[in-house]
Amino acid sequence: MTLEAITEQFGKTAAKAPSLGKSIKFVFDQGIVHIDLTGEQAQVTNDDKEADCVITTSIETLDGIRKGDINAMSAVMTGKVKIKGDMGLAMKLPSLIS
Tell me if residue 5 falls in helix, strand or coil: helix
The CATH number of the domain holding residue 87 is 3.30.1050.10
DSSP character for 20? -
Q: How far apart are CA 76 and CA 70, in angstroms?
A: 11
Can you give the length of the chain in residues?
A: 98
Number of domains in the chain: 1
pLDDT in tens, 35-81: 999 998 999 999 999 999 999 999 999 999 989 999 989 999 999 99
Buried b (16+ CB within 10 A) or exposed e, 40-64: eebbbeeeeeebbbbbebebebbbb
Residue 98, burial from CB neighbour count under 10 angstroms (0-12, 13-18, 19+)? exposed
- The fraction of the chain above a pLDDT of 90, given in percent, is 69
* C-beta separation of 52 from 69 below 8 A: no
Total-model pTM: 0.90
State which residues form the domain around 31: 3-97
Residue 18 clears pLDDT 80, i.e. is over it: yes
